[in-house]
Amino acid sequence: MIIIVGLGNPGKKFERTRHNAGFMALDELARSLHVDISQGKHNALLGKARIDAEATVLAKPQTYMNDSGRAVGAILTDTYAGISNLIVLHDELDLPFGTVRIKIGGGHGGHNGLRSIIEQVGSSDFMRVRLGIGRPVPGMDAADYVLSPFLAEERQLLPDVLARAVEAVKIIVLEGPNKAMNIFN
């Protein structure tokens, strides 16, 4: 069982913000797999899918970003999935907008959603699909930046970015993270 988690904040207020890039990518993955992510369980919205023959759970924590680990920990416990079967899709300040990169393990880099997951599950050794959102202009607070909407020119490019993130997830599941890293990194 593979657990695929998109990070974001619930509610209309945050729907199209940079910090919700993980939610957006997971929604696009669900659309491509014809899966509804609406079952409420473990403080998350869940959907079950198959990527080829691989059983997966798609999850959008509803605990707000800073407490995402609570939902992720409960899902891992309920499904008996190991940390090596967890894929987290999230926004990444340290990558230019539009970049999609794969990473296994590492720190949280100041990302509160990743920090919460690492604290809750006791490990950072999970796979990540990092969606670059770029850095704020000098003088702008990073928290304000991630909670702001994408610019018009970014919104035009966003469908391609999300499609590449979906492709990355499918390659991770079907061919392994090393193959995905060779393609995307």
- Residues marked active site are found at 19
Contact between residue 7 and residue 72 where contact means Cβ atoms under 8 Å apart: no
Which among 55, 63, 60 is positioned nearest to 24, based on CA atoms? 60
Determine how many CB atoms are found less than 10 A away from the CB of residue 153: 9
List the beta bridge partners of residue 58.
4, 47
DSSP state of 151: P
- Distances from the Cα of 148 to the Cαs of 4, 9, 45, 126, in angstroms? 25, 12, 23, 28
Determine how many CB atoms are found less than 10 A away from the CB of residue 106: 13
Determine how many CB atoms are found less than 10 A away from the CB of residue 175: 12
